[in-house]
Structure 1
Amino acid sequence: MTPPVAQSAARPTILRLLAAMAAGNQLWEVPHVPLYTLWVTGSPRARSVEVQGVDQAEG
């Protein structure tokens, strides 16, 4: 069993880790939102062009 002092010292570290993970998750997911929208509403050609990273104005 972990002593109470060790448990109270670990709590802020765990909370910082969880906050960093939540922030990192948001930073990762936000740029992908247009792809989710495109996947639901876009045509197959639009999906392939977007996934390849080619601008539709280029061809």
Structure 2
Amino acid sequence: MFKFKHSKVKDSKNLKRTAKSSLKQINVKNYVDRLKSEEYENIMKIGLEVRNKGMEFKGIYL
């Protein structure tokens, strides 16, 4: 499960914060539960924040 976001702010702390909020949004919208109900077993949640050449990655393997 991927959640991508693009940031317009140059602050690197904002990249980390937005990557974490991407993971939170995956939980709030129950995307993983939907995949599990369709019998997917190996699920990885990934929040990816990109701004120009900067990137922040947060991932959780379930």
Shorter-chain TM-score bucket reads: 0.3 to 0.5
Q: Which has the higher strand share?
A: 2
Q: Greater RCO between the two (CA within 8 Å, min separation 6)?
A: 2
Bigger radius of gyration, 1 or 2?
1
Task: Tell me the TM-score normalised to structure 1 length.
Answer: 0.37
Q: Which has the higher helix share?
A: 1
